Amino acid sequence: MDKEAIFEQVARVEERIGELYKELAGLKEQIVGLIEDNTRLMMENQRLKELEARFSSPSGETEEKTLPPKEEAAGKGVHHLADLYEEGFHICNVHYGRLRGEGDCLFCIAFLNKSSKEE
């Protein structure tokens, strides 16, 4: 067997693996970006729902049917954020909606404590 040909083939395969690895890293980055965008939108949506519940008139019967009472909505919101934090996302203003990676975030914890006290 031609040793030189084998080495050439190995080098070509190595090069292709390198390219695939780069492509994979790029895809991973895009996925993280999309997940973070999605989380930010979820948080924004949650926040808007809470604002809507807070500012909807309590006397309006039609609105009361579709929206939960004020306190319930606010409590749900905090719970939802705590869930997101547990799932590994930042809920603080500093890194809003980004993936947390390993370890706790002091800003997030402070925000959670503050939110649960306001309840």
Q: Give me the residues that bind Zn ion (CB under 5 A), please.
A: 90, 92, 95, 105, 107-108
Min CB(29)–Zn ion separation in Å: 20
Q: Which is nearer to Zn ion, 81 or 108 (CB)?
A: 108
Give the CA distances from residue 60 to residues 56, 63, 65, 104, in Å, rounded to whole numbers and listed in that order.
8, 6, 9, 42
Min CB(36)–Zn ion separation in Å: 13
Q: Which is nearer to Zn ion, 70 or 95 (CB)?
A: 95
Question: What does the alpha-carbon distance between residue 29 and residue 56 come to, in Å, rounded to a whole number?
Answer: 40
For residue 14, the tally of other CB atoms under 10 A from its CB is: 10
Min CB(39)–Zn ion separation in Å: 12
